[in-house]
Amino acid sequence: MTVSEHFAVLYSYGPAEAQAAHRPAHRRFLAGLLDEGKLLVSGPFTDGSDQALLILRAESEEEVAQLLDEDPMRTGGVVTERRIHRWNPVLGTVGAPEAPTS
């Protein structure tokens, strides 16, 4: 049996116009990962940095990279940098329980 791990992913985005154009498809894509149990929580930072945080559960960093390679924000060239880190959540819970996906 393979044990999944947690990963924190930091996205840096390009221009706001490009983000807006790809956002609906991006959110549908992430909703699919949420439904599969791969994505635990995600969202943009609100400090004007044009960055976002995604917390995922996967078997490896390679799996995370492969999953996120299909993100419309990435395939559309809007993600200018992506950093993937193994993450150890020591205390608390991650995400809202039974969060709606639509």
Domain boundaries, the chain: 5-87
Residue 7 contacts residue 87 (beta carbons within 8 Å): yes
> Cα(57)–Cα(86) distance, rounded to whole angstroms?
10
Judge whether residue 95 has pLDDT over 60: no
The reported pTM is: 0.86
The pLDDT score that the predictor gives to residue 97 is: 53
- In tens, the pLDDT along 23-62 reads 999 999 999 999 999 999 999 999 999 999 999 999 999 9
The pLDDT score that the predictor gives to residue 89 is: 87
The CATH T-level fold of domain 5-87 is Alpha-Beta Plaits (3.30.70)
Average pLDDT of the residues of the chain: 91
Residue 22 contacts residue 77 (beta carbons within 8 Å): no
